[in-house]
Amino acid sequence: MMADPVTPRFLRACAMQPTEVTPVWFMRQAGRYMPEYRAIRSRHTLLEICRQPELAAEVTMQPVNALGVDAAILFADILLPLIPMGIGLHFAAGEGPIIENPVRIEADVEALRDAVSPMESLAYVMETVRLVRRELADRIPLIGFAGAPFTLASYIIEGGSSRNYVKTKQMMYQAPSTWHALMGKLARVVADYLACQVASGAQVVQLFDSWAGALNHDDYTTYVLPHSRAVLRDLRLSGVPTIHFATGASAFLPQMKAAGGTVIGVDWRAPLDWAWQQLGADVAIQGNLDPVALLAPRDEIEQRVRRILQQAAGRPGHIFNLGHGILPETPVDNVRAVVDMVHEMSAAIRSQEQTSTFKEAIRL
């Protein structure tokens, strides 16, 4: 099958169609490792940037202009949908998000609003989407995103970040009806929020389940899968590709696929070819360079990039990415170099495969 020269290669990869090179983008590609972002951040808080569409659009475009990536991802924060639900939050220096009114009991869940009308209550996000689409002018696609219900639930139950998710699991085990009521509300809000991003111009959306790796196989299947499935099922109506990503999820990749997603993102803990075997050949896959590898010497980075591309073996449906977000101390030049490596190496791999196929055909 010949590659489509019109549709952007990132969208073709999402649809498991051939591409001339492997598309590449990076989670957290806009952010603290870029001097341009740090300059803006020195004058504004994170929430101020998110709430000012012109600033958020500028930050979204910074890596597009600097790196040559194949997709832009909206600059926002995964916790934004919690605000219209009635959650108070702020970001403490060096500590991450702080939830001002944690959700711990049934009454707390009942007090949360789930009819939040994201097009209005999160209008600043939708305006950012529109501004970025206008700026991109269809050069590359724009990815919208949201935190998955489990990840959002863990933040508001724990009161912020956590190592062991003790309070979260206590609610799951001790008050399952309260847990499912909370997850149901979050799933409805997340689905509406992503649908509004699509209506505003996002061409792909990614569901980030950043902390799902804190769970085992059975807990994920019982307490998380039905709610992620509800979000992704509703998004099928939007007609855009969906990326379903979780860290530390190698033990339940088939369950993630069952929850849904056009593309399944995998982290760096499992070889990409093994992960694809677990998922099956009928789904696209995104990943999976260790983010810390971007701090390695250039020849080490090159070896690791080549290994991942060899594991993908040029199959349609591979999107190169990290196994999680870019770290703040990452050199920009290394990120830019990986984009070039992926494009150049994947083109060479495809050329070799075509030559081998041609020689085999002649022998036959």
Say if CB 149 and CB 190 are below 8 A apart.
Answer: yes
**Can you tell me which residue has the tokens 């810390």?**
292
> Could you read off the pLDDT of 142-155 as tens digits, one per residue?
999 999 999 999 99
pLDDT of residue 96: 85
Integer angstrom CA distances of residue 302 from 218, 242, 306: 38, 29, 6
What's the mean pLDDT in 353-361? 49
Give residue-wise pLDDT tens across range 258-314.
Answer: 999 999 999 999 999 999 999 999 999 999 999 999 999 999 999 999 999 999 999
Strand order in the sheet with 142-147: 72-73, 142-147, 204-209, 242-246, 263-265, 284-286, 318-319
User: How far is C-alpha 255 from the chain's CA centre?
Assistant: 18
77 is catalytic: yes
133 classed as catalytic: no
Task: Give pLDDT, residue 362.
Answer: 42
Does residue 38 have an active-site annotation? no
- Choose the catalytic residue: 9, 28, 133, 188: 28
Query: Which position among 9, 70, 133, 155 bears the catalytic label?
Result: 155
Query: Is residue 363 annotated as part of the catalytic site, yes or no?
Result: no
- Cβ contact 31:37 at 8 Å: yes
CA dist 268 and 272 (Å) reads 8
Given 41, 307, 315, 350, which residue is catalytic? Answer: 41
Q: Which of 9, 51, 77, 193 is catalytic?
A: 77
Q: Which residue has 């939007």 as its token pair?
A: 238
How far apart are the C-alpha atoms of 37 and 113, rounded to whole Å? Answer: 33
Whether 32 is catalytic: yes
Domain boundaries, the chain: 9-363
Please give the structure tokens belonging to residue 180. 């499912």
Joined together, the tokens standing for residue 279 give: 């998922």
Predicted pLDDT of residue 1: 47
Name the CATH architecture for the domain at 9-363: Alpha-Beta Barrel (3.20)
- Go through the chain and tell me how many residues it has: 364
Tens digit of each residue's pLDDT (9 = 90 or more) over 36-91: 999 999 999 999 999 999 999 999 999 999 999 999 999 999 999 999 999 999 98
Q: What is the pLDDT of residue 359?
A: 43
Nearest of 16, 95, 28, 103 to residue 59 by alpha carbon: 28
